[in-house]
Amino acid sequence: MAIVDGPALSLRASGNLGALCYSTWRGQQVARSASTLVCGMTTPQQKAQDAVGEASQSWSAILTADQRELWEQYARSQKLINRLGLRWTPSGYQMYMKRSVQALLIGGTVQTSPPTTIRAVSVKTVTIEAKAAAGEVEISMTFAPAPNEPDMIQIFRAGPYDGGGRHPIAPEFLEVQQVITPFTWDDTGLTSAKYYWYRVRWGILEGVVSAYWMKQVMVS
């Protein structure tokens, strides 16, 4: 579905609108033919769809009227940023879905009540390095001692690429592992002399995730 800012003047737009796709190309707003390509869902896409279905059904099937009202009150104090960079106030249902879907994707459960406090996570180091062993990359994060640790970290990978100048777009990153303490993992079986991109973030099972740390590595 397309998002149009000032639809009569078409000042800014993002997404498909009928046969047209609005996007940004080299810093300019452009319109081109919308793709009609139909692809089967990947495993991560299926996982995300399942999480959306479970969360949306639980809103009316599990949450009480009082719990839904708590989400409405919580949402009125929140500001989100949309694809056009504009700040907006979500509904209670939208905030519930945001937290619950993210929680389900990282191993948590549907969030019946909005958060009252958010755990303060303190990151000390982030390591994304090719190992001496052929075809291996080490990914790790260290944190200040509990209670300043997350529940897990998520690791995403893109590649392999032939050259170091290739920078992947977001859909090329696929989740390859979720790791609990001690928050370290070796990615093995990679292609030697190829370039890979990794991004990693921490997560809390209540549906809170951090920004990404990202790095490119060339595998031995």
- Greater confidence (9 vs 213) lies with 213
pLDDT on residue 170: 86
What are 193's two structure tokens? 């002399």
Domains of the chain are 3-33 (no CATH), 43-105 (no CATH), 123-218 (2.60.40.10)
Question: Beta-carbon neighbour count of residue 55 at 10 Å?
Answer: 24
Q: pLDDT tens, 60-116? A: 999 999 999 999 999 999 998 887 788 889 999 999 999 999 999 999 999 999 988
Average model confidence (pLDDT) for the chain? Answer: 89
Distances (CA, A) of 100 to 54, 62, 120, 167: 9, 13, 20, 31
pLDDT on residue 56: 95
Q: pLDDT tens, 105-140? A: 999 999 999 988 888 899 999 999 999 999 999 999
pLDDT on residue 123: 94
pLDDT on residue 80: 86
Do the strands 28-33 and 3-5 form a parallel or antiparallel pair, or are they unpaired?
A: unpaired
Q: pLDDT tens, 144-201? A: 987 889 999 999 999 999 999 999 988 899 999 999 999 999 999 999 999 999 999 9
With contact defined as beta carbons under 8 Å apart, do 95 and 76 qualify?
no
pLDDT on residue 2: 67
Residues ≥6 apart with Cβ < 8 Å to 64: none
Give mean pLDDT, residues 8-16.
Answer: 71
Q: Distance (Å, rounded) from C-alpha 91 to C-alpha 75?
A: 6
